[in-house]
Amino acid sequence: MQSTSRPIAILASDSPEATEAAERLAALYRTVEPEDAEVIVALGGDGFMLQVLHRFMDTGKPIYGMNKGTVGFLMNEFREDGLSERLDRASETVIHPLEMTAVDGDGLPHSALAINEVALFRQSYQAARLKISIDGKTRLEELVCDGVLVATPTGSTAYNLSAQGPILPISAPLLALTPVSAFRPRRWRGALLSRHQVVDVEVLEAQKRPVNAVADHREVKSVQSIRIRESANLRSLTLFDAEHSWDERILAEQFRY
């Protein structure tokens, strides 16, 4: 059994591939419980990585993901050998989550954090009607659409990219505001915002055209309004192999065809 330069804990998703990989790594390396670890090694896919990033947010423990899932954009390549050296050479990225405050149909507030994006989606067969304000100033009186999302640089390659939103370099001080199947104004493709700007979305005809709000894995049904801003204080830490950094992944993704 090998020791690592920093105490590590290994967490795995519930897939057979991930749990088997965790058992093999635990046999090769000395591990500790998560509360005693300096680094968390997460085995799974991007969804599991998000869960682990949420769990250890603001603890100072960096997360080193290795892909044992499907997409794995947030993950490093899985290899059993050389883990200590990979952790020592890995580059650290700081992620500030989005803070969502949604008010439901009963006027009750709901708060949640999002590492990837905060999104609003129509709940019925009718298109949503949304009013969008930035820093208290109305920018769109009416957006008729299937939904709209605010994505961080981390989340810009996830659902935001599928909705034809821009890819943001991880160090860019920006957020992407992206419509989902906009009907009116038909040619509006979204906007790039400063990371410090506050987005308010009011749901017009909320009872007739209900809308749900989703912050990563947390969903609030039938919202009346929602406020989205980047957290100035909270942060998650990720580790990426030096030869395959997050910046390199973002750049490579923009040249895929």
Q: Is residue 247 flagged as an active site residue?
A: no
Q: Is 9 annotated as a binding residue?
A: no
Q: Is 46 annotated as a binding residue?
A: yes
Q: Is 67 annotated as a binding residue?
A: no
Out of 14, 36, 46, 241, the active site residue is 46
Q: Is 47 annotated as a binding residue?
A: yes
Q: Is 82 annotated as a binding residue?
A: no
Q: Is 76 annotated as a binding residue?
A: no
Q: Is 12 annotated as a binding residue?
A: no
Q: Is 162 annotated as a binding residue?
A: yes
Q: Is 125 annotated as a binding residue?
A: no
C-alpha–C-alpha distance, residues 12 and 73, integer Å: 17
Binding positions: 46-47, 116-117, 146, 157-162
Annotated catalytic residues are 46
Binding positions for NAD(+): 46-47, 116-117, 146, 157-162
